[in-house]
Chain A
Amino acid sequence: MMEKFMTWLDEKFSTPMARLAEQRHLRAVRDGIVATLPIIIVGSFFLILAFPPVPADTAIAKWAAENIIKILLPYRLTMYIMSLYAAWGIGYSLSKSYKMDGVSGGNLAVVAFLMTIIPQVADGIGWVLPMANLGGAGMFVAIITSIFAVEIMRLISKTRFRITMPDQVPASVARSFEALTPTAVVVILMTIISIVLGFDWHGFIAKVMAPLVSTSDTLFGVLFPVVLITLFWSAGIHGVSVVGSVARPVWTILLDANGAAAAEGAKVLPHIAPEPFYQWFIWIGGAGATIGLVLLLAFASKSKYSKTLGRTALAPGLFNINEPLIFGAPIVLNPILIIPFILAPVVNAIVSYVAMSLELVSRPFILAPWTLPGPIGAYLATGGDWRAIVLNVVCIVLSVMIYYPFFKMYDNNQLEIERSEQSA
Chain B
Amino acid sequence: MTESSSTEVTVSASKFLQSLFQEELRDQTKHDPEVVSLVKQHLCQGSLHTRAGARLADALIQLGKARAKESGR
A, B co-complexed: no
